[in-house]
Amino acid sequence: MRYLHTMVRVSDLDASLEFYTQGLGLVEVRRKESEKGRFTLVFLAAPEDAEQGAAKAAPLMELTYNWDPEEYSGGRNFGHLAYEVDDIYGICQHLSDMGVVINRPPRDGHMAFVRSPDGISFELLQKGEALSPSEPWLTMENSGSW
């Protein structure tokens, strides 16, 4: 058995791609459009997994965009997706600059939570040892839920 991908439905493909690629830094490795099924599938990989992801040899994130409008709501039963990052403070600042709310700031230099435009919860974990606690993250309060 091998883990293949996580699929999330998105209501705005452009906004979602901006969050996943420009915000989180994921890379699009393939795309499928189905006129008959009226949907678009976009497969994303972490940069270090992009080559293997394109060859279907690494876990991927599948964004499913149904062309006919539907309303989706995230449930806490889904949990979250987790990504290891090189610089937790840098990515949180980048996402914040894009207007993304940092729901659980990386006060400990190790872990943060954010949500995608469709309310999918993401845990961001510092690669290696935690960074030294620093402002503005150290005293930033939680916002919303994750």
Coil/strand/helix, residue 50: helix
Looking at the structure of the chain, the number of domains it has is 2
Confidence band (pLDDT; 50, 70, 90) for 78? low
Same domain for 117 and 143: yes
Out of 123, 129, 135, 141, the active site residue is 123
Mean pLDDT computed over every residue of the chain: 90
Q: Please tell me the pTM assigned to this model.
A: 0.80
CATH number, domain with residue 131: 3.10.180.10
Same domain for 48 and 21: yes
User: What is the structure's pLDDT at 54?
Assistant: 77
Q: Which of 13, 39, 66 is the last residue of a domain?
A: 66
Residue 73 lies in a domain: no
Residue 72 lies in a domain: no
Higher pLDDT, 137 or 77: 137
- The tens digit of pLDDT for each residue in 109-124 reads 999 999 999 888 899 9
Q: Per DSSP, which regions of the chain are E strands?
A: 5-10, 27-34, 39-45, 60-66, 81-85, 102-104, 111-115, 121-126
Same domain for 113 and 51: no
Same domain for 111 and 49: no
Range of the domain at 43: 5-66
Please determine, for residue 48, whether its predicted confidence score (pLDDT) is greater than 70.
Answer: yes
Same domain for 95 and 55: no
Same domain for 131 and 110: yes
Residue 71 lies in a domain: no
Same domain for 50 and 13: yes
Same domain for 127 and 100: yes
Q: Is 48 a catalytic residue?
A: no
Written as one string, the DSSP assignment of 25-40 is --EEEEEEEETTTTEE
User: What is the structure's pLDDT at 121?
Assistant: 87
Confidence band (pLDDT; 50, 70, 90) for 79? low
